[in-house]
Amino acid sequence: MNSLFPGSEAEALTLGWSFYGPVLIFVVMIALGVPVWAAIGVTSIALLWWSGILPMTLLGGSLFEGIDAFALTAVPLFILTGDVLVRTGLSRKFMDVAEALTNWTKSGFGSATVLVCGMFSAISGSDAAGAAAVGRMTINRLVESGYPKPYACALVAAGACTGILIPPSIAYIIIGLVLGISASTLFQAALIPGLMILAGIFVTNSLINRKYAYEQGVAIGFGEWTANLLGTLKRGWYAFIVPAVIFTGIFSGSLTPTEAGATAVVVTIIIGFVIGTLKLSDFPAMLVSSAKVNGVILPIIAFSLPLAQALATMGVPQGFVGLVTGISSEPWAVILMMIVILVAAGCVMETTPNIVILAPLLKPLADEIGMNEIQFCIMMITTLGVGFITPPLGLNLFVVSGLTGESILKIARRAVPFVLSMLAVVMLIAFVPETTTLLLPDIYK
């Protein structure tokens, strides 16, 4: 039997084919397009069966325990909030306010598109939902404003990446569950990095527009701009009750993420009924839509738990630490290797399986170099967020391509500047811990 990883820390890991076989099965199933939850499930069963390291009877209990968590209740609630937001037309109010805020700039509507992506992210916690909702509202108007269609698609896809980066984020709920870290704490830590990503996309679009003059907004005076903004807020102020409830509840500590999600759903529904844009007949479609998204996420989490338990028992995380530190033990080099791994993983697999598989592997590596666990979580999620606009599996690319019929490769090429701006923020998060701990109590610093 051969050791999986070189180095003294992994000498006990000599399981050979009992490990490599399941890994091969997983790779082949993913390459064949088998749903990720099914690939993880079969891999988990194969790993337990061949290695014998844990009893097969563990599987049933682990599947139940994997989703029997109060914190996970927040996931379907935030997804449903996003669906209700679109059905009630409140997302249009966000668009109006975003336009009013940015109509003084030459890249006014492009800037408004980025801004409304951030607003939608502050409620739904889902990038794909944001890309679909914002894309329907903006892409045709962006093209009418002078932007090439592939670039307009890339702008929406990039802006929607903030769905998992700006709290409340489903990704932070999941990584908090996997690593045993409070989701509320992660939300607070993610606020500044999420806004940095949004600002980076905003500035990148402005610079590109200045170079190519896609959009030529008409400058308006401060008085006109103020009057327009106040009028827009007066007509749609009630839409901002929802993010206000979420942020005030979570950041004040009076609501858990799950309670904030439940409150947001109720408040959004009430607003929809009051303004007359929501009917009882809308509920079946909303619930089915939310259930479909939730039905993709929860099975992945459920099947990943026995897989993670088996890998931990086999000593794979420790072996991985030995492998990476064997190449270089310098903290800067280890951080760069983690970023490369996460970018590559984000290109070929969705965020949820990446979190549940890679977080337990990379967390010991972050501990080894003394990285704050909160900083590690923010760095990981932000880096994986880049994967939403990088082929071959960039989910947001597929969403906007499906909306417009535009080639995914054309959109991906136009998204390169946004990828670079996001990676610049990733580097700041990785090497400047204060970007993630500034808003946290001293105990986390």
Kindly report the pTM of this predicted structure: 0.85
- Bond into 6 cis (ω within 30): no
Sign of the Cα torsion 87, 89, 90, 92 reads: positive
Would you state the pLDDT for residue 253?
Answer: 81
**For residue 16, what pLDDT is reported?**
60
Q: Map the chain to HEC letters.
A: CCCCCCCHHHCCCCCCHHHHHHHHHHHHHHHCCCCHHHHHHHHHHHHHHHHCCCCCCHHHHHHHHHHCCHHHHHHHHHHHHHHHHHHHCHHHHHHHHHHHHHCCCCCHHHHHHHHHHHHHHHHHCCHHHHHHHHHHHHHHHHHHHCCCHHHHHHHHHHHHHHHHCCCCCHHHHHHHHHHCCCHHHHHHHHHHHHHHHHHHHHHHHHHHHHHHCCCCCCCCCHHHHHHHHHHHHHHHHHHHHHHHHHHHHHHHCCCCHHHHHHHHHHHHHHHHHHHCCCCHHHHHHHHHHHHHHHHHHHHHHHHHHHHHHHHHHHCHHHHHHHHHHHHCCCHHHHHHHHHHHHHHHHHHCCHHHHHHHHHHHHHHHHHHCCCCHHHHHHHHHHHHHHHHHCCCCCHHHHHHHHHHCCCHHHHHHHCHHHHHHHHHHHHHHHHCCHHHHCCCCHHHC
Look at residue 442 in the predicted model and tell me its pLDDT: 66
Distance CA 285, CA 279 (A): 11
How many CA atoms are closer than 13 Å to the CA of 196, on its beta-carbon side?
20
Calculate the CA 193 to chain-centre distance: 13
Cα 143 to Cα 95, 149, 404, 408: the distances in Å are 16, 6, 11, 17
List per-residue pLDDT tens for the chain, 445 residues long: 344 443 334 443 445 666 778 888 888 887 887 887 888 888 888 888 887 777 777 777 777 776 777 777 888 888 888 888 888 888 888 888 988 888 887 778 889 999 999 888 888 777 777 888 888 889 998 998 889 999 999 999 999 988 888 888 889 988 998 898 988 899 999 999 999 999 999 999 999 988 888 887 666 777 778 888 899 888 888 988 988 888 888 888 888 888 888 999 999 999 999 999 889 998 998 888 888 877 777 887 788 777 777 777 777 777 777 777 778 888 999 999 999 999 888 887 778 888 888 898 899 899 989 999 999 999 999 999 998 898 877 888 888 988 888 888 899 999 999 999 999 999 999 999 999 988 777 666 5
CB atoms within 10 A of CB 290: 22
pLDDT confidence of residue 425: 95
Predicted confidence at residue 430, as pLDDT, reads 94
Cis peptide before 76 (omega within 30 of 0): no
Residue 429, pLDDT score:
95
Cα–Cα dist 312/401, whole Å: 39
Q: Which residues contact 27 (CB under 8 A, 6 or more apart)?
A: none
In angstroms, the CA 117 to CA 99 distance is 12
State the pLDDT at residue 1. 36
Residue 188 tokens read as 């607070």
